[in-house]
Structures are given as structure tokens and as C-alpha cells.
Structure 1
Amino acid sequence: MTTASRGDAASLFATPRTVAEHRADGSIVLRSPEPLRDGARCIGDWLEQWARQRPDSIFLAERSSAEAPWSTVTYGQALRQVRAAASWILAQGLSPERPLAILSDNSIDHALLALAAHHVGVPSAAISPAYSLMSKDFDKLKSMITLLEPAAIYVSATKPFAAALAAIKPLHSAQIISGNADDADALAFRTIAATPESPDVAKAFAAVTPATIAKLLFTSGSTGAPKAVINTQRMLTSSQQAKAQTWTFLEQAREDLVILDWLPWSHTFGANHNFNLVLRNGGALYIDGGKPAPGLFATSLANLKSVMPTVYFNVPRGFDMLITALRADEELCRRFFSEVKFAFYAGAALPQNLWDALEELSVKTVGRAMPMVSAWGSTETSPLATDCHFLAERSGNIGVPIPGTELKLVTSGDKLEVRVRGPNATPGYWKAPELTRQAFDDEGFYLIGDAVKFADANRPERGLFFDGRVAEDFKLNSGTWVSVGTLRLAGIAALAPLAQDIVVTGHGGDEVRFLVFPNIAACRAHAGLPETAGVNELLTHDKVRAAIAQGLAKLKQQSANSSGHATRALLLVEPPSVDGGEITDKGYINQRAVLTRRADALARLDDDAPGEWIGCY
């Protein structure tokens, strides 16, 4: 960290502490010496609390375009609509066996309807809109609906979802609910939110326990049908209680806590971490209708200029686009680094070149480095398992175990496989007892499948570094292990800004090779080609190919070991596929799915005859 003062961390976060238990079998158990304090019974308690204490404070806000004014809902208004919608939910007989499914993106209606279900003990299942709007065969959506057997399905409007709704119609008997009051073929959410409140709502709310299922969140389904992860009320409340004990400024923030966020509620990061962070602490959530994608990030920037958040959350692609925008807008840059307390990134994914660029911009603009923090977990851990609530020296530090959560580190080859146990961990997968059994070891630790390494083995409080997915790593013919996660990040940094993402291959061969998803905008700028230039023309341009070759050479200079660099790279014309499970709507690439689906690209990469691939100088 360049010049950030340690006082920044001291005023924002708890001091990181970790206890390490070295067992006779060689495993290491890490835990926080800070006990997890009692939290809420359920997330509905938070809504009730703020509706009583600050009924007129803004809870949710959204707008239809970058030019439109923000539409807001206060905590008092939200509770009234939640209780009204909950009355309708009870009258319609929704239950854990007949839950609520939500197919649409983030919106106020989406939030209120889901909270209404949670309020009376009915699970909601937010399904990524990509399965409805970008899929061609709807196979994964069909499998999800078949598993859920929902009694109600919400969409923002029926027209965009017409094909998806038609595809799943034979599979359910659910009431279709629309956020568009003009849709004649669905029940308007507005009508549901005006239902007279029933006395049964208070009774059902009082019956909710920490063990009650709040949500069913789906995994990516890269190796088959997506699994529905059970998320209990205890998981959600304990995760946020631990967050409050690590991010100690939250107890003082209250009305000052403002979050502007696009991350989808069909994923645990956007929903359980970010949305619940706001709800637990009585803040305001401004729903960002943009996202880090071509044509959509301009909306995110306009929203950022309108609402500067307390904490800035994003994924690597978002930080990449933000850096470009901040460099081009001096006023936005000044406001961002002056007003945002710190930035939060996904610990396993931020390339070091983006960390360095943000730090450099911050120092140049305000004379200090903005704190960059992170965390680690999964859908099955709701999501918080570790938290990096201190000023790490570089990207990738995922922090220390949160209060109440234990990590077990087990030797796996030359790595440390990490496992998780705590109140934040799922009890299992919905209607999948065998998959549930396979997901835990004999001590009840969840087998998350990741590897970690110590920042300093003698000082565990200095945190852990993500060390890749255990199942993704492979051996070369030499017997040398390739750490896919580590090499992927190093490769993206070396090929910056032309590589959007990288898939590492070379399994059973003599050399490592890269399949590269290119950053089309960066490649176009580097080649000096107009917007009308086709992708094939762009990726075969001499300047682009030369830059990729130079990047490979740079990576080889950093690590001449055969497992530390790639000898060839192939630029992929086709973007990652949603139906193929290659990408999530957060922009994360699934290595295994890409390698399985793109056998033809691998064959071209492995062909020794000169062709499409680019060699290392």
C-alpha cells in the first residue's frame, strides 16, 4: 500500500485477529477469537426496526434512465407494502414447497415482493435474467422451475420474458406477477402491494425462526443442472452480524450509509452481502440500472455522478471500466476518491494491474491510496467466510475468518484446500440429499473446493491469499503443477488491457497455453480501427497480435518456469456463452465449462502448424 494511513483502517474496521489450531493429522483450523454476538432472528426484524425508528428514511431508490429522477421508497412505505404483499402470499398458499420465483433484474418491486415472502416464512428464488433473456434453449430455466414448483413467478414485464414464460408454461401452475401494471396477461404487483393486511401476517412473521428457509439461490450449473442452495434466515443474519463486527464503522454509519449497486440479486454477492448490508444497517440502496458491459456502463457512470456511495462495490470488469472513466473525468475522479470511504472487490478475481491503477489514481488525486478491501466465500456460505478488513499490500488477500466461522486447511498436493464451518454455511441443497452429503466432510465442514495460502504462516492475522480452485489445477508432463487461478490473474495483467479474461489450458502437455476472451474496445483502440470494424478483422490485426505476443514475453520474463507462463494464446471470436455455463452475469468465467465447450479452439491452439494462435517471442 503506497501512502494510505493506518488510521483509515483503524477508524473503519476491527483489528484482524486469528487463532490457529495445528492438529496432529496436519490440518490447521483457523478461527476468530472474537465470538459472534447475537444477531437478529430473521431479516424481517431489520425492516420492522427501521420502519419504527426511521420510517421516513430512504430504503430503496431506482430510476428508469440516467436522465430520470430517482423514485424512492422509505422504510415505513416498504414495510406497509411488504405486509400487504405478504397477505396475498399467504392467501395464495405459497410455502417452502411452493415458493416464489423471480426471473427479473433488481428493482424496488423485486425487493419488496421477496421481502414479503421472507416475512411470512416463504422462500424466494431469484433466477438470473440471463437464463430467460439470453438463453436460446431455456434448458436451465426449465430445470430450475421443475425443481422449485413455484406458486408464483414475478417478471418486470411479460413482453421481454414472453419466450421464456412460454417455454416453462407446461412445467408449473404458478400465478404470473408483473411489475408492469398494463400487462393484461399477468397480475400487477401494484395490486398485490395494495392487498388489505391480514392478521395472519403477524402470526406468520412471529413463527419465522433462524432455521426458516429464506432463499433458494442457484449455482452456475457448469457441470449439469444448477443446484438450489438453501439459505436460512440464520445464515443471512449471522453473516451480517459478523460483517458489523469487522466493519465497525457500520454501527456509526446508519443514515450516512449509501450504496449504489448493480450486482444481481440472483447471486449471493449482490443479494446477501450488499442488499442485506443496507437493510441490516438502515442505509439507503440506490439500484444501478447499468452494469460493466458495453453500452450499459454509461448508465452506471451517470448514476455514480448522481449518488456517490459510502462503499464502492464491483467486479474486475467494473473496476477496469471505472478506471478508464476516472482518467477521462477529473471532477468525477476527485469526487470518487474524496467521498467514497473504500472500495470492495472480489478477492479471488482482481488482477494486480487494476489494483495498481486505482492506487495510482487515488494518490495522484487526493494524496493517499483509497483502502481496497475484500472478502471470500460462496453461495453456500451466504457469502461471507473470510473478510480482509485491513490494508493489504496487494490484490488477492481474502482476509481472516469472520467471527463464528472456522476454516479447516487440509493438504491437497502442494496446496492447502480450505473448508468452512459456521452458522453462515448452508444446511444443503434443495431436494438433493446425496449432493448435500457429498458437500461436507465428516466434521461438518463445507467442501468449497478452493485453495489458500498464508500471507505469513507465522502471523495468520495477516490473512490468506486465494490460491485457485483445487479441481482446476493440473500437471504438465514434467510433473509440474499449474496453479490456474494464480496464472490466470498474472496473464490478464501481462496482456492488459487487451485480455478481458483468460482460460488456462495445457492439461497433460508440455506447455501452458491461453484461450483469451479479448477486450474488444481495447483491441479496437490499440489497432486504431473504427467502430464498424468486424471482430475478425480486429483480432487478426498485426498491432493486436504483436501486443499479445509482447504480453506473453513479459509473462515469461516474470516466470520462466514452464508452469508460470504460456507459450501460445488464441483470441476467441465468440464471446462466452450463458447457455454453455461459460459466464455468470457478474462476468466471471467458468474455466471448466469453456474448456469442455471449446474443443475446436483447443485443437487449433494445439496444432503445431502456424495458424491463428499467437506465439511467445
Structure 2
Amino acid sequence: MSVARQAMGAAPVRVAHRPDGAVLVTPVPQLGAYPRCLTERLVHFANVAPGRTLIARRDPALDGDWRRISYAEALAKVRALGQALLDRGLSADRPLVILSGNGLDQAMLTLAALHVGVPVAPVSPAYSLLARDFSKLRHCLALLTPGLVFAEEGARFAEAIAAAVPPDVEVVRGGTEMAALLATTPTPAVEAAAAAVQPDDVAKILFTSGSTGQPKGVINTHRMLCSNQQMLREAFPFVAEEPPVLLDWLPWHHTFGGNHNLGLVLYNGGTFHMDDGRPVPGGYAETLRNLGEVATSIHFNVPRGLEELVHHLRQDAALRRRFFAKLRMIYYAAAGLPQHLWDALDALSLAERGRRIPIFTGLGATETAPFCLVVREGFSESGAVGLPAPGVELKLVPVAGKMEARVRGPSITPGYWRNPAATAAAFDAEGFYGLGDALVPLDPADLHKGFRFDGRITEDFKLATGTWVSVGPLRAKLIAACAPYVKDAVIAGQDRDHIAAILIPEREACAGLTDLPDRLAEGLARLAAQATGSSNRVTRAVLLDAPLSLDAGEITDKGSINQRAVLAQRAALVAALYDEAPGPDIICLTEAKV
């Protein structure tokens, strides 16, 4: 047993090897005190910094200027809305459901529900706006039995509301209907309800992506939300010293955007600027406009967003100066950051600030609130996920030749909403939640340096030779080898003699290239040059020329790919990859024996 020294991003840990093969990694210091519920922080900052902006969004009615809500204004709105929710009889059994995307009204309604002890369940707008049959939306609403549904810009959601919302459930569509709620006069019942909220009461119900069936409702308690924010504060102490300033687009029906980022601002008295831009073709101009005005202290994003950012930082000196002016760290999630983007961000910050701005990530899930594992500053690199956050116990258990990560602590869900079978299956006999992810040490001789992601246990498979294929690490290497033309990949080969892949193209990078197959073949060759055997060599590939389907479960609303669903839905394409005489669309690794 040994203890690691402290570094920013993780607490010192104690490592213990058990006779059963499990490894326990436990932070040494106890987690500090945290509030009973998150809105205690709203009340605190409404008293000590009433005029400070809590949240802001550009408003066309203000000629594109920012509409700002201060901490004092937010508390007043929360009390009015809290009374409106109580008047309508909302409760743990009749929660508030939100169908629409991020908005100022949604922020206030969410805080109001938390304040008076009403669970809030934000449902992915994709289930209303992109789905064809509304089956996932119907499933979610049937599970929730809502007392009130909020859908800002209700006309866009009209079809979904008619198809899925029970006729006896009140729907608030924003505008004058929202104004009516805000006009409610709060009574002492609001603060009485707030005082009655207990740490283990349900605060939120957040849905899983549904990549392995219908979405499950993950219970998020007030204890989970508050302890998770205290973990963040202890991992990154500067957020307590200097109120964080964020510009963020990440959706609030996901735990990263709605719990981690928005919660970080509220917990530490910061300011949250809503970004209506998106890292997609034609959607990034608004983000660039906002980045030109708002000097953030932390930049949260997904790798696709960082790729777009790097492109513009290289071209725009004024944007570079503004972006790096007050930046303390860059934090990414949802997928691995390719090394070429990591190197580019390092080079840009060195040129602008004379030092590297730390780049962090970790490992978490909707079930972990989500902050769970985080890299230490000295051991932050592509693929690393770090060590457990303060207050989280990590257990690594031998499973199918790998070490599966399981976690326990105050920020871990007690289970799934109205789904006891799924709850029972999620935890082991010692009460550890199974993430389903495998980890390997960065340095087997020193576990205190942290761990690296080693794939999803359920995605891995065996070739016909009996050789295991570790899908997660192989995907990351394949994408890197084919950069910048490939943004994701689906790995095939179960019970086959060799591995093939379906490549998801990066459309902008591939546009107009007549020699794209040759470039991708070169990528396969680069990957093969690093390979140690058949388990990490891709011998054939094909570019996917049709979009992945949300309804078919091929892609989640977060944009992540369900490997098994794609392979099942694209069975004919997989068969073509393994034809004895491959067609002209199949990219082959010529030096491989297939």
C-alpha cells in the first residue's frame, strides 16, 4: 500500500492490491463539507453578490446584446416559479419535464424545481424534433408521469406534444405562459418546501442515451450534485479563489453541460454565458462572435469543438489574444482528444502566453453526476483519465482479461427511476457502480500517475483466432492514423479472421478530394506500422455515405456511436467488407494478407 503526492486535478491516493485480484484506489483526504442542496449557493450569492451576473444570453430584442440575470434577480424568479410549481401539485411523483433546449427560462425553472424539492427531468430535444415515431419520448414521459411539461418555442414541439404528452398534463410553451408563472406571488410555502429538501431526495432525472435499448432515467440526488461540485472545487482550487467565467453551448439534458458546467458556475458564484453557436458547419460563427467578447477562465468542450476552435485560433490573432487572456484550463469530455489537436493547443498557448495552458479530462457518466476520475496536471495526455476525484473510491476488477472500473461515493446514483431490475444489475455486492469501462495504468510500476482508458468491456470481441480485440483503443488509433479525414469509426471483425472498419468521414476535410481512398489507405498503413498483431491492425475499410440513424439507435442524441447497432443495421456493408473480391468502394491494406 502506498500514497501519492498531491497535484492539481486529483487528490493523493492510497493503492491497495487485494487477494481476489481487485485493486482499490482511494483518495486520502476526506471530502470537505458541502451544502444540503444546490440552491443554498444561489441564496448565498444573492446575499453577498446580488448584482453579479449569474447567467446571460444574447437577445435579438436587445439588438443582440446580452440579457443578463443577476443572482438577486434569479432568486426572485426562483421563488415565484417555485410557488407556481407548488400550486400545481408537482412532487417527487409528478416531476417537471423539460422538452426544449437550453434557455434562460429553463435555467430558472430548473433552479426553482431544485429549490422546492420537485425533481426536474430534461429530455433530449432530439426525441421531439429529430425522431420520426416519438417512441423514445413516449417511453420517457410514461416513465416520468409529469406534473408539468415545459417546451419553449412550443410551436416547434407541437407535433411531439400532440403525439406523446398525455392530454391531462399542463404544457407551458414559453412566452406569455411562462410570464404567467413568473407573475406568481411567492408565499412562505416556498421557503418551507426549500427547508424540507433532504440531501438524498431526488433532484434530477437524467436519461441515458438509450444506446442499448430504451433510455433509463438516472436518479440524481441533491447530495450527488452538491458533493460533485465540492469535488470539482477541491480538484481545481482556483474556482473558489476566482469566480469562474464560462461560455458554453453543451446541452443541459446531458450531465456534462447541465450538472458539471452550469453547476460549477452556481456553486462558485461565477457567470455563465450561454453560447448559441455549435461546432458544426455553419454553426460556429456565433461561437466566434461570443469568444471575441467573453474572456473565459475555463473552456469546456468536446473534441469536435476543440478542432473547430484550433482552426480559427491559428488564423485570427485577435481571437487568440482574447481566448487565452484569462484562461486557466481547457477541459474536454465525451471522447478522446486526438494528439494532433492536443499539440496544436499547446503550441498556441505557448505562443500567446509563454506557457502551456493545462488540458484536463477524466472519466465519468450520468450515473456519477458526472465528475468521477480526473487527470493530474503532471500526467495529462491523450487517452489518460487520471485518478478518482476526492470522495470517490475506485475499484478495478479483473473481467475478460481487462480491469473494469467500478466506483463508490456520495456522487454516485442510487439507481434508475422506477427500474429496480436495472438498478440491481448496476451495482456489485460491495455497492460499487460498474462503469463498464476498462482502465490500464499509465505506468504499471507507479499507479499514482493514473490510468488510461482501455475500451468498453461490452464492445470488445474475439477474432476467429481467439484473439481479443480492444475496440476503444483501436478506434482512437485508427482515427488518429486517418486524421483529419475521419471523425469516428465502427470496428468489425467478431469471429472473422481480420479486422475491418466503417469510417465516418469528416465532411469538410474530405470535400473535393479525388484521392481520398489513397489517403485513407495510407492511414491504414500508418496504423499497421504500429500494430503488434491482428488485434490492432485494420485490413479493410469503407466510408459511410449515409447518415447514422437516431431512431435505429445507431447514434445517440449526444452524437456518440452505438457500435453494435451500426453493425446490425449495416450488415450488408459489413458483408461487403469481407467479400473475397472486394468492390471498388472498399479500401484495402495491400500489404495485409486478407
TM, length-normalised to structure 2: 0.95
2:417 counterpart SS class: coil
Counterpart CA distance in 2 for 1:324 and 1:606 is 37
2:501 counterpart SS class: strand
Corresponding residue number in structure 2 for 1:100: 96
Task: Answer with 303-312 or 595-604: which moved more.
Answer: 595-604
Matches within 5 A, 1:339-354: 339-346=326-333, 348-354=335-341
| Number of equivalences | 583
Whether contact under 8 Å (2:203, 2:220) holds in the other structure is yes
Corresponding residue number in structure 2 for 1:25: 20
1:613 aligns with 2:578: no
Counterpart CA distance in 2 for 1:222 and 1:584 is 6
Query: 1:61 is aligned with what amino acid?
Result: A
Corresponding residue number in structure 1 for 2:468: 481
Whether contact under 8 Å (2:81, 2:182) holds in the other structure is yes
1:34 to 26, 29, 36: 29
Task: Answer with 393-402 or 356-365: which moved more.
Answer: 356-365
2:480 counterpart SS class: helix
What whole-Å deviation, never above 9, does each CA across 1:318-341 have from its counterpart, x for those lacking one?
A: 111111121221221233234321
2:97 counterpart SS class: strand
2:560 counterpart SS class: coil
Post-superposition offset of 1:172? 5.2
Corresponding residue number in structure 2 for 1:437: 424
2:282 to 295, 302, 305: 295
What whole-Å deviation, never above 9, does each CA across 1:114-172 have from its counterpart, x for those lacking one?
A: 11111111000001111111111111011001111111111111111111111113x35
2:142 to 138, 143, 146: 146
Corresponding residue number in structure 2 for 1:274: 261
What whole-Å deviation, never above 9, does each CA across 1:579-609 have from its counterpart, x for those lacking one?
A: 2233334432222222232222212222232
Query: 1:213 is aligned with what amino acid?
Result: V
2:55 counterpart SS class: strand
2:54 counterpart SS class: strand
Task: Answer with 214-223 or 559-568: which moved more.
Answer: 559-568
1:292–1:581 CA distance, 2 compared to 1 (3 A): farther
1:391 counterpart SS class: helix
Query: 2:360 is aligned with what amino acid?
Result: V
Counterpart CA distance in 2 for 1:299 and 1:584 is 25
1:172–1:563 CA distance, 2 compared to 1 (3 A): farther
Corresponding residue number in structure 1 for 2:528: 556
1:384 counterpart SS class: coil
Matches within 5 A, 1:160-559: 160-169=156-165, 171=166, 173-181=168-176, 188-254=177-243, 257-346=244-333, 348-524=335-511, 527=513, 542-559=514-531
What whole-Å deviation, never above 9, does each CA across 1:10-36 have from its counterpart, x for those lacking one?
A: 7xx366411111111111111100111
Corresponding residue number in structure 2 for 1:131: 127
Counterpart CA distance in 1 for 2:385 and 2:230 is 19
Query: 1:307 is aligned with what amino acid?
Result: V
Counterpart CA distance in 2 for 1:336 and 1:584 is 31
1:217 counterpart SS class: strand
Counterpart CA distance in 2 for 1:582 and 1:67 is 41
2:362 counterpart SS class: strand
2:278 counterpart SS class: coil
Matches within 5 A, 1:73-92: 73-92=69-88
Counterpart CA distance in 2 for 1:383 and 1:323 is 26
1:14–1:313 CA distance, 2 compared to 1 (3 A): closer
Task: Answer with 363-372 or 441-450: which moved more.
Answer: 363-372
Counterpart CA distance in 2 for 1:386 and 1:314 is 17
Counterpart CA distance in 1 for 2:278 and 2:564 is 25
Counterpart CA distance in 2 for 1:580 and 1:64 is 37
1:583–1:300 CA distance, 2 compared to 1 (3 A): farther
Whether contact under 8 Å (2:10, 2:375) holds in the other structure is no
Counterpart CA distance in 1 for 2:9 and 2:371 is 16
1:449 counterpart SS class: strand
2:331 counterpart SS class: strand
Counterpart CA distance in 1 for 2:269 and 2:323 is 23
Corresponding residue number in structure 2 for 1:538: none
Counterpart CA distance in 1 for 2:352 and 2:493 is 43
Corresponding residue number in structure 2 for 1:584: 556
Whether contact under 8 Å (2:80, 2:184) holds in the other structure is yes
1:16–1:117 CA distance, 2 compared to 1 (3 A): closer
Unaligned ranges ≥5, structure 2? 1-5
Corresponding residue number in structure 2 for 1:48: 43
Post-superposition offset of 1:499? 0.4
Corresponding residue number in structure 2 for 1:115: 111
**What's the % identity of the aligned pairs?**
46
What whole-Å deviation, never above 9, does each CA across 1:179-202 have from its counterpart, x for those lacking one?
A: 233xxxxxx112111210121101
Counterpart CA distance in 1 for 2:360 and 2:416 is 30
What whole-Å deviation, never above 9, does each CA across 1:304-351 have from its counterpart, x for those lacking one?
A: 112121100111111111111212212212332343211001275222
Post-superposition offset of 1:358? 1.8
Query: 1:145 is aligned with what amino acid?
Result: L
What whole-Å deviation, never above 9, does each CA across 1:537-591 have from its counterpart, x for those lacking one?
A: xxxxx41111111111111112152111211111111122222233334432222
1:22–1:410 CA distance, 2 compared to 1 (3 A): same
Query: 2:443 is aligned with what amino acid?
Result: D
Whether contact under 8 Å (2:394, 2:406) holds in the other structure is yes
Whether contact under 8 Å (2:209, 2:556) holds in the other structure is yes
Counterpart CA distance in 2 for 1:54 and 1:365 is 33
2:155 counterpart SS class: coil
Whether contact under 8 Å (1:145, 1:172) holds in the other structure is no
Whether contact under 8 Å (2:9, 2:374) holds in the other structure is no
Counterpart CA distance in 2 for 1:308 and 1:591 is 38
Task: Answer with 601-610 or 222-231: which moved more.
Answer: 601-610
What whole-Å deviation, never above 9, does each CA across 1:420-443 have from its counterpart, x for those lacking one?
A: 111111111011111111110000
Counterpart CA distance in 1 for 2:316 and 2:527 is 32
1:452 counterpart SS class: strand
2:77 counterpart SS class: helix
1:514 counterpart SS class: strand
TM, length-normalised to structure 1: 0.92
Whether contact under 8 Å (2:524, 2:538) holds in the other structure is yes
1:172–1:432 CA distance, 2 compared to 1 (3 A): farther
Whether contact under 8 Å (1:96, 1:122) holds in the other structure is yes
Whether contact under 8 Å (1:217, 1:230) holds in the other structure is yes
Query: 1:411 is aligned with what amino acid?
Result: P
Counterpart CA distance in 2 for 1:51 and 1:119 is 14
Query: 2:38 is aligned with what amino acid?
Result: I
Whether contact under 8 Å (1:19, 1:33) holds in the other structure is yes
Whether contact under 8 Å (1:220, 1:581) holds in the other structure is no
What whole-Å deviation, never above 9, does each CA across 1:216-271 have from its counterpart, x for those lacking one?
A: 000011121110000000000011111111111112012xx101111111111111
Post-superposition offset of 1:397? 1.4
2:305 counterpart SS class: helix
Whether contact under 8 Å (2:55, 2:68) holds in the other structure is yes
Counterpart CA distance in 2 for 1:217 and 1:128 is 9
Counterpart CA distance in 2 for 1:330 and 1:562 is 46
Post-superposition offset of 1:365? 3.6
